[in-house]
Amino acid sequence: LKALAVTGDKRSAVLPNVPTMAEGGVKDVDVYSWQAVAAPRGLPKDVKARLHAALVGSLNEPQMRQKLAENGFEVVANTPEQFEQFEKQELQRWKGVIEAGKISID
């Protein structure tokens, strides 16, 4: 297999010699996978804060960061509020793609 391009807005650390779609002349393609941790709605703020601190602490451990990077993951570790904004933007973006492409479940 030969990677032709990556779909993120910057080159992958795992594939540094593979250009982005934008570098290849295809504009407005910024698609990448992301992961998140979910908890029940209404989780008490103190519990949410402790959970977030524990997760960020784990993600920032050098051995964990190295292992994730080796597998192509970029650690972002947004706050819950930052992720909520990001998620809203993602929902709007993909809603637009679905509507523009007239995509339906058939």
**Each residue's pLDDT tens digit, 72-91:** 888 999 999 999 999 999 99
Same domain as 50, residue 95: yes
Is 14's pLDDT higher than 90? Answer: no
105 lies in some domain: no
CA dihedral angle for residue 77, residue 32, residue 90, residue 99, rounded to 10 degrees: -170
49 and 96 share one domain: yes
Comparison of pLDDT for 98 and 28, the residue scoring more = 98
What's the CA gap between 28 and 38, in Å, rounded?
29
pLDDT score recorded for residue 41 = 93
Q: What is the pTM of this model?
A: 0.78
Task: Please give the residue range of the domain that contains residue 65.
Answer: 45-100
Structural domain includes residue 86: yes
**What is the identity of the amino acid at 87?**
E
Assigned domain for 24 exists:
yes
Do residues 60 and 84 both lie within one domain?
yes
Backbone φ and ψ of 74, nearest 5° = -110, 125
Looking at the fold, whether 50 and 24 belong to one and the same domain comes out as no
How far apart, in whole angstroms, are the C-alpha atoms of residue 16 and residue 106? 39
- Clarify whether residues 24 and 50 are in a common domain: no
